[in-house]
Amino acid sequence: MNTQKKQRLEGFLFLVAFCATIPLANWLIGNVGTECVPDGPCIIPVWPGIVAPSGVLAVGAALVLRDMVQRRLGIRWAFAALFVGAALSGFVAPAAWVVASVAAFIVSEAADMAVFTPLQRRGLVLAVFASSVVGLAVDSMIFLSLAFGGLDFLAGQMIGKSWAILMALPLVHLLRLRDRRLGFTPA
């Protein structure tokens, strides 16, 4: 298989994973946690004494996966995947959470893209880190405000998403090294 075909195949694998993280995050919020708040989210500890809705880890992964979809397939595919994931969320979460999630994802992914796009050629790990930090802040504020009417879980959201991003950065670095070796170029 030639390099360009491998690049597209990887892109579609990232695309499927990205699409899956959106409904996964919404499902986790309502079903998995150390405690489930009545008419609220299921929460998990993300730091001693700090909790967050349990979908936080999937959203952190989504921010990195979106960057990888864009890198392999282009911006249009990244936005299309967002809407597919949002539609799938409608099957697993209450409508209010889906609306909050979609609004948060659209704005945060646009912010993520605005940071990632110019930085990716200068350094992939830097671009993923910087764009994910911007995306997680925007996503957290919008989602919490719309889904739960406040920012009570903001610190937990920021910490939990940061864990997922930090776990992904070594993999992004390895991917970048391999890209250089194989001559992959961003879409």
Question: Taking the domains of the chain in order of start, what are their residue ranges?
Answer: 3-182
Q: Which of 105-109, 166-170, 172-176 bottoms out in mean pLDDT, i.e. has the lowest?
A: 105-109
Across the range 41-51, mean pLDDT stands at: 96
The structure tokens 């739960």 sit at: 148
Where b means 16+ CB within 10 Å and e means fewer, 79-118 reads bebbebbbebbeebbeeebbbbbbbbbbbbbebbbebbbe
CB 120 within 8 A of CB 132: no
pLDDT band at 169; cut points 50, 70, 90: very high
Task: Specify the pLDDT at position 60.
Answer: 83
pTM flag (> 0.75)? yes
pLDDT band at 16; cut points 50, 70, 90: very high
Task: Specify the pLDDT at position 81.
Answer: 85
pLDDT band at 57; cut points 50, 70, 90: confident
